[in-house]
Amino acid sequence: MTTYLIRAASVLGGERSDLYLADGVIAALGADAADAATTARADGVDVVEIDASTLIALPGLVDLHTHLREPGREDAETVASGTRAAAVGGFTCVHAMANTDPVADTAGVVEQVWRLGEDAGWAQVRPVGAVTVGLRGEQLAELGAMADSAAAVRVFSDDGKCVDDPVLMRRALEYVKAFDGVVAQHAQEPRLTQGALMHEGVVSAELGLTGWPAVAEEAIVARDVLLAEHVGSRVHICHLSTAGSVDIVRWAKARGIDVTAEVTPHHLILTDEAVRGYDPQFKVNPPLRTAADVAAVRAGLADGTIDIVATDHAPHPDEDKDCEFAAAAMGMTGLETALSVVVAAMVDNPEYDFDWADVARTMSTTPAAIGRVAEQGRPLEVGEPANLVLVDPDATWTVDPAALRTASENTPFASDELPARVIATFWRGRATVLDGEPRARTDVRA
């Protein structure tokens, strides 16, 4: 197996160090790295040297919220194409959401998705199991069987739909305690959002579009943190998007409730003003909110109220987006733009004390901990798994939807210039990306 000597990388944006990757781990650091590489060459081992003197090294990114669409919607994405896009974006692990066809509500389906990820070879795939059978919200799915399967599911979600029945939600929270699982809630009270197309506010009124009030999210967040407290279980809030939800999570954490929350990159930077052109690329669930909400979720991410950034990568084929706004599907791609958007919204924003170590915390270490992925989000130290990404913090790039590695082109950032670029990604010691380009292994599926 090829080994890698990474020269003078800034670890988490701090001191520079050499890293030597061999046998799937970080084999040596500092001066020892060059010595180890010299010894390896003498033994006939192939050593690739990478000049990282202008680059930052982070642990491989971990996405807790990815829609890979397979099985059932391979016209939008496959496990192979989605994880290839993930690697280009710096991710070494993604959690594949359950709203596939068939739904990932049995051990058989989650194992199929897990095996597709292993076969593809771009990044680790951790399937998310459905909370309810068929996402119908009527009875619990086979949570225990999915947890005991080869896929070792620990995150369960009906994402795309809310587990709106409080009795069913309570039972799910109680059930997952047995295997240290977590229920990830799509917080949307369905009766308050029927027919909603965008955030309810001044812009929706001016555009004549049915609005989705912030309280439809906040009511579920409030209910579920109280349920989690009542049963003593973990709960995770998907794609938190309102100032009120930030306040509720902050209150719950102060009370000692075991709640975590995520924000998407697009909710950190886009507002409902983007919908004024009726462009379906800006139609998303939950909807883009107000500038005040964006400021609140940024502040919440900076102060730790919001634990992680998760992409909610939601690819759609052209025909699902190239239509009138009301008929268009909700969702945006995000795996390849996530890191850059976070840098633009947080790292390069002087309003917040948010550095590259915070990027590692919110996009690698903490999501791995929430998902109970032991081999991901690890410190860049000797003996740790060689899952890492090299980023050029000074680079800029222009988003070209056709050039993205995902199978769909529904990005809201088309033609935007974004900061920071992934130069190399390593998963289990193998380079999945070098010089910004994906590097397939010989048995990888196209």
| Run of H or E including 145 | helix 143-148
Confidence of residue 425 (pLDDT cuts 50, 70, 90): very high
pLDDT at 441: 73
pLDDT digits (tens, 9 = 90+) for 4-21: 999 999 999 999 999 999
181, HSE (Cβ side, Cα atoms, 13 Å): 28
Q: What is the pLDDT of residue 91?
A: 98
pLDDT, mean of residues 24-37: 97
Question: 26 with 383: CB under 8 angstroms?
Answer: yes
Annotated binding site for Zn(2+): 65, 67, 159, 186, 239, 312
> Are 113 and 126 a contacting pair, CB within 8 Å?
no
The more confidently predicted of residues 388 and 445 is: 388
> In the numeric block, which tokens belong to residue 73?
């919607």
Pairwise CA distance, residues 399 & 412, whole Å: 10
Annotated binding-site positions for substrate: 67-69, 99, 285, 316
pLDDT at position 325: 97
Beta strands 211-212 and 437-438, pairing class: unpaired
C-alpha–C-alpha distance, residues 404 and 337, integer Å: 9
Known binding site: residues?
Answer: 65, 67-69, 99, 159, 186, 239, 285, 312, 316
CA-CA-CA-CA torsion for 398, 436, 66, 244, nearest 10 degrees?
-50
What does the mean pLDDT of the chain come to? 97
Catalytic residues, which ones?
Answer: 312
Dump pLDDT digits (tens) for 190-241: 999 999 999 999 999 999 999 999 999 999 999 999 999 999 999 999 999 9
Q: Are 87 and 122 spatial neighbours (Cβ–Cβ below 8 Å)?
A: yes
CATH fold of 60-370 reads TIM Barrel (3.20.20)
Question: Of all residues in the chain, what percent carry a pLDDT higher than 70?
Answer: 99
Q: Which amino acid would we find at residue 367?
A: P
138 CA to centre of own chain? 28
Distance (Å, rounded) from C-alpha 207 to C-alpha 35?
Answer: 65
Q: Phi and psi (nearest 5°) for 76?
A: -95, -40
User: What token pair was written down for 96?
Assistant: 């594949």
- 329: tokens are 């599907």
How is the chain split into domains, by residue range? 3-57+383-443, 60-370
Q: Side chain identity at 114, as an amino acid letter?
A: W
DSSP string, 286-308: SPP--HHHHHHHHHHHHHTSS-E
Nearest of 247, 252, 282, 280 to residue 267 by alpha carbon: 282
Q: Which of 108, 110, 94, 162 is nearest to 132 (CA)?
A: 162
Q: Tokens representing 50?
A: 């990478």
Query: Which of 2.60.40.420, 2.40.110.10, 3.40.50.720, 2.30.40.10 is the CATH number of 3-57+383-443?
Result: 2.30.40.10
Q: DSSP letters along 206-271, please?
A: HHT--EE-THHHHHHHHHHHHHHHHHT--EEE-S---HHHHHHHHHHHHTT--EEEEE-TGGGT--
Q: Looking at residue 444, what is its pLDDT?
A: 36
